[in-house]
Structures are given as structure tokens and as C-alpha cells.
Amino acid sequence: MTAARSPVASVLVVDDEPVIRANVAEYLHLEGFAVHSAASGEAALGLVGRNRYDVILCDVNLPGIDGIEVLERVARLSPETFVLLITAYATVESAVDAFHKGAHDYLMKPILLREVDRKIRRLIAQRDLNRENQWLRRELHREAAAGGMVVGCTPAVRQVVAMARKVAPTDATVLITGESGTGKELLARDIHRAAQEAKPTDGRFVAVNCAAIPADHLEAHLFGQKAAAFSTTDADAPGVFTAAGAGTVFLDEVGELPLPTQAKLLRVIEGKEVTPVGAAEPEHVAVRIVAATNTDLPAAVAAGRFREDLFYRLNVVVLRLPPLRDRREDIPELVEYFVAKHGRAMGKRVAGVSREAMPLLQVAAWKGNVRELENAIQRAVILGDGPLLTPADLPPDLAPAADDPSAVEPLDDAVKRFEKRHIERLLRLSPDKKEAARRLDIGLSSLYRKIEQYGIGST
């Protein structure tokens, strides 16, 4: 039996099964933790209200208040507390759902006590260190300096980011084009954030998916509705153009708006006014509009499905986000960013992806673009156990692009091709070779040999 050590953290065990609750609590006590236990969600929340816990182990299936509700309430009562959900049926989908709801990790029944100890200590180590690896801090700092989350160093992405920075402080209407999943809403949020930094207001960012709102509710949602038009309430309902104040309304899939709604949107752009449903007079708005589409608007204009005058009003500044297949050099940086993002969210210290996994990510088809890549990395972070994500952690249906020469080249060649590109990109970002060698986790002499081997910097 392990000798008791001085308490290193406080843990609350919540399970309605007395044997499981007692066994886990006794084991953690002997491992040196300060342990409390509760048989129900109600009892657990009472303890959380009176005590500070570093970690809570909570069964999902509890009588009364279940584990998910406990998780959500703990997030409000004690946001610094880590929550590990215990479930009898663990799937990738249930794990993703748990993480989305705020869980930091999960455990499967039957519970392995050593696994409990390992996961708790990993979270406590993160709490004690309260810092990430050096490359993670630089990525986060660069994100803040760039104003948001558009990641990439290819010329096309740099051009889009530069144009976005120029237009952000103005009142100009912006149209963002690109395939689904390329990051149009993220770019719109960046523009709003930069605009607020230039001219601070209390304006909000409000996103609207024009294709997802039923036609009979669309105009009330956009422009508002007067109480007289309701039969069940005596309060006015402001639309998004009013609710955003002096902020930004992001109209995604703007090409899906019905023609009558397009005419009213034109009035918002031209006259800065809206007429709520049921109102006799228009109302002034101060909002800025950023629209987005993944369709060919000029073709829609020619077909009579989109107003030509509205198109030209939206087409003042056009930002075109390229598909991921056209910016494959950005994949390593995007992977690093998403590993850092989801590792931090899930309380996992993941250093990156393995030498074998990165080439697979670089040659995949990515028909869903950056969104699909992020989903693949989030899944890998959830499933991965080691410091590096491996091919086994990646989606099994990750197919290479049919027209990519690397789809049929030997793995060793793909690895070398990736390694050359990765070193070139790293040296562009950090010309200091000592720093580059540290980030690559290789010796300085090894870096010089690879530079000579690949002819980096010789052309």
C-alpha cells in the first residue's frame, strides 16, 4: 500500500454508488490528496459552496441533479476547479460533448484507480505551472498582436489579413468570400475586434446565418418587431441591427436572402435605418455590416436571384479566403495553433504532432477546409495519451487529395518534404537558429546539417 503524503490538492468525489465512492476516496486519500465525497449532485453543490476544490470527479448519471448540471453549475460557482466526468459509456461523441460543456477530462467505468491518480496529477501540474510551453505562449502572443485567429503565413493569407487591418477602422461594408469552413466568421470577428480597438464603443458582434432562419421569421429577426405586431406580448423586440449598437452584424450566406429582404438590407446600408415589422417610421442604426458568401454572387445577380444594387453596395471591399488545399504550407502552423487551443481547453499538455502524423495532415484532401482540420485535431487531442499526437489519433477516414503528388509518394519522401517546408517556415518566423533548434527539439548541429541537406537559404 502506498504511503500517505502531504496533501497536494483537494478533491471532491461525487458518485451515488457507495462502493465506488468509498474506494476512490480512500485511494486518493492514501495518495496524499485531501478528499471529500458526496452521494448526489445536490450534496456536491452544497460542498462546493462551502469549500474550494482543485478537482471534482463526478458521475454523469446521478439521481436528481445529474453530472452535466453539476458541471455547468461548478463552472459558475468555482470556474478555477477542474471537473472530470465519470461515464459508463465512453465514445468520441460523448467525450466531445463533455468537453464542449466544460469538462476537463473524463473517466470510464469500471474506474482504474491509477488512471484517476494520473489524470488528477496531470491537471494539478498544469495548475501549479500555470504556463504552457514557450512556443504556445508565442503563438498566443502573436494571435493577440495580429488581432484574432486568422492563422497562416502564405502570401494569400497575409494579403487578406493586411487588407482586413486596413479596412477595420473604417465604416466600409466588407464582403468575405470563400468556401465553407475557410474561416469567414473568424475574419469578420477580427475586423470587429480591430475596429473596436481603433474606436472603442459598446457595440457588439452579432452573427446571423441567413440560410438558417425561416423566411417568415427572418425580417423580424433582422429588423425587429413592434409589440403591436405581436399577439402574445406588449414589448418591442429589437432586431440584430439595433441590438448590435455601434458594432458589427455579420451576415453569413448573404446570397440566400429573399429578394424583398435584400431591398430592406439595401436601405440599412444606404440610409443607416431600419423599419421594424409593424412600425410606421424607420429607426436609425449605427451598425457596420460584414457579409459573407460561398456562392457566386455575380452569377446570382445575372440569374435575377440577387439585387445588382445590393451587390455593388456589399462589394466595396472584398476579402477572398483561399481553401486549405491552396495554402498547404499553413497546415503546420494551423495544427500547432489548434493543438494549443484544444490542449489548453482540455487540460492536456500536448507538445504537438509526431513526425509521422504531420505528413498525413499535409496531404489530406480537407474538403471541409480549416474547420475540418480543427475537428480532426480536436479529436486527436481527446484520444491522444502521449505528448505527441500520432497517426493512430487521427481520423481513420483521413484521405489524401487525389491530385496531390504526395498522395502516392513514399512516406520517407513525404516526411523529408514536410521537414524542409517546416524548417523553412520556422526560420522565416524566427531567424535565430538556436531558437529554431529549440522549437524543433533537435540539436543546433542537427539543424545546420538539415539546412545543408535541404539547401535551405541557398536559392
Query: Model confidence over 27-85: pLDDT tens digits?
Result: 999 999 999 999 999 999 999 988 989 999 999 889 899 998 999 888 888 877 899 99
Q: Do 292 and 332 reside in the same domain of the chain?
A: no
| Mean of all residue pLDDT scores within the chain | 85
* pLDDT of amino acid 6: 41
pLDDT in tens, 204-216: 999 999 999 998 8
Q: Is the pTM above the cut of 0.85?
A: no
Q: Which is it for the CA torsion 164, 168, 172, 174, positive or negative?
A: positive
Residue 146 placed within a domain: no
Report the C-alpha gap between 332 and 189 in whole angstroms.
23
The mean pLDDT value for 215-232 works out to 79
Residues 308-322 have a mean pLDDT of 96
pLDDT value at residue 147: 44
Residue 137 lies in a domain: no
**Confidence band of 426 (pLDDT split at 50, 70, 90):** confident
175-180 average pLDDT score: 97
If asked whether residues 293 and 349 sit together in one domain, one would say no
Looking at residues 387-413, what average pLDDT do you find?
A: 69
Q: How far apart are CA 185 and CA 1, in angstroms?
A: 55
CATH number assigned to the domain comprising residue 174: 3.40.50.300
Mark whether 99 and 209 lie in a shared domain. Answer: no
Residue 261, Cα to own-chain centre: how many angstroms? 31
Using the predicted structure, report yes or no on whether residue 449 has a pLDDT greater than 90: no
- How distant is the alpha carbon of residue 137 from its chain centre? 17
CB atoms inside a 10 Å sphere around CB 412: 9
At 222, list the grid cell. Answer: 433582422
Residue 199, amino acid = K
Assigned domain for 406 exists = yes
Asked, for residue 172, whether it belongs to a domain, the answer is yes
Amino acid identity, position 317:
V
Domain identity same for 105 and 166: no
Residue-number span of the structural domain to which 400 is assigned = 327-454
Q: Where are the alpha helices (DSSP H) in 205-258?
A: 215-223, 240-243
**Is 220 domain-assigned?**
yes
- The residue behind cell 500555470 is 130
C-alpha cell, 162? 493586411
Residue 142 lies in a domain: no
The grid coordinates listed for 415 are 516526411
- Residue 441's contacts (CB-CB under 8 Å, 6 or more residues apart) are 351
What pLDDT sits at residue 413? Answer: 65
On the question of pLDDT at 3 being above 90, the answer is no
Instruction: Please list, in sequence order, all residues whose beta carbon lies within 8 angstroms of the beta carbon of residue 88, skipping any fewer than 6 positions away.
Output: 60, 61, 108, 109
Number of domains into which the chain is organized: 3
Between strands 248-252 and 205-209, the pairing is parallel
For residue 76, the model assigns a pLDDT of: 80
Contact 77, 48 (CB under 8 A): yes
CATH code of the domain containing 37: 3.40.50.2300
Q: Is the pLDDT of residue 184 over 90?
A: yes
What lies within 8 Å, CB to CB, of 451 at 6+ separation is: 423, 457
Cα Rg, the chain, nearest whole Å:
26
For residue 387, is it within any domain?
yes
pLDDT value for 400: 65
28/87 same-domain check: yes
β-bridge partners, 176: 292, 319
173 and 307 fall within a common domain: yes
What does 96-142 look like in DSSP terms, one character per residue?
A: HHHHHTT-SEEEESSPPHHHHHHHHHHHHHHHHH----HHHHHHHHH
pLDDT, residue 299, reads 96
pLDDT score of 130 more than 90: no
Q: Are residues 279 and 373 in the same domain?
A: no
- Is the same domain home to 446 and 333? yes
Query: Are 198 and 314 contained in the same domain?
Result: yes
Q: Are residues 273 and 352 in the same domain?
A: no
84 and 193 within one domain: no
**Pairing status of strand 273-274 against strand 174-177:** unpaired
Q: Note the pLDDT tens digit of each residue in 273-296.
A: 999 988 888 999 999 999 999 999
273 shares its domain with 307:
yes
Domain presence at residue 316: yes
